[in-house]
Structure 1
């Protein structure tokens, strides 16, 4: 199956989750992250605001010892900004929730972990996103290439293999709602 068909199929499956099921699976993912040494050792973590029924990590953001960074789509790149649960957000490009443009930026050298949203991941760590290439470009750039990454995906989209292109880079690990 090509990436386009796989995206369409997985989006349909994900959007068919009931709100109750989506929230439950999201909470299990959050618990698995909280149980992860890699997550607990990180001080500054880049994450995302749930979009189109992606796993919701929102319960991690409040009352947290971590500094959180969230992306803004700027041109063809992601700009990372500090955010706390008291800060307001705006709706940015593609209808995605983002921090305000004037929120402090985060330098790559300050980042300890990146939680990467995935439409799908395979057992080798390759991810399938929405096709815009934002994370592929970022994770391939010299200042980001060695940063620890965890792909966040529901278990139904954690697949033995997905189609990959030459520019695709594997993530270091994957977290689903099923404890590993």
Structure 2
């Protein structure tokens, strides 16, 4: 399938989840996330969810990290839609967040971060058995990940699809993808 078709289908499936299914899948995703090896992770970059689009609730992961791995610095993005780029900021709590015009929570006063990143949790609408992902199509994460030497981990509430037919040279492959039922290594 082509990315444009995958995007439509994946979003439709996600939006059709009941609130109970959505919550259950997020709890299961958290349980899988807890199985990762965090021993060499000093800095973890995580997207903040567009709850309206039923993206994985990364606040559950953030809360767990804060309680169980306070030594890990959490970094969150802020998007610039004019340049299709992101800046990266230290997560200092819910009170610093405000939704932008796309309903994405973003930091308001947190310091910008320019240091090393060990692990990145990546949003996606779908992913395939080769480790490629389909996002919303703006390329924010492909540009960000291009020269980044970090573990690249997708988060998905759905299982893999067979193959994305129109992968291109700018598409960055995941190292892992976490679903509610498993952690897939590529």
Q: Which runs of 5+ in 1 are unaligned?
A: none
Contact 1:46 1:68 in 2 (8 A): yes
Task: Identify which range, 82-91 or 68-77, moves more after superposition.
Answer: 82-91
Residues 85-123 of structure 1: CA deviation (Å, up to 9, x unaligned): 3532111252211111x31112242x1100001111112
Measured in 2, the distance between the counterparts of 1:14 and 1:68 equals 26
Q: Which runs of 5+ in 2 are unaligned?
A: none
5 Å-filtered alignment, 1:128-139, equals 128-139=134-145
Query: Shift of the alpha carbon at 1:10?
Result: 0.7
Q: Which 4+ runs in 1 deviate beyond 4 A?
A: none
Task: Identify which range, 128-137 or 158-167, moves more after superposition.
Answer: 158-167
SS at match of 1:4: helix
Is 2:84 the counterpart of 1:85?
A: no
Measured in 2, the distance between the counterparts of 1:84 and 1:61 equals 11
Measured in 1, the distance between the counterparts of 2:151 and 2:54 equals 24
5 Å-filtered alignment, 1:99-110, equals 99-100=107-108, 102-109=109-116
5 Å-filtered alignment, 1:37-76, equals 37=37, 39=38, 41-51=40-50, 52-62=53-63, 63-64=66-67, 65=70, 66-74=72-80, 75-76=83-84
Contact 2:124 2:135 in 1 (8 A): yes
TM-score normalised according to structure 1 size: 0.88
RMSD: 1.6
TM-score normalised according to structure 2 size: 0.86
SS at match of 1:61: helix
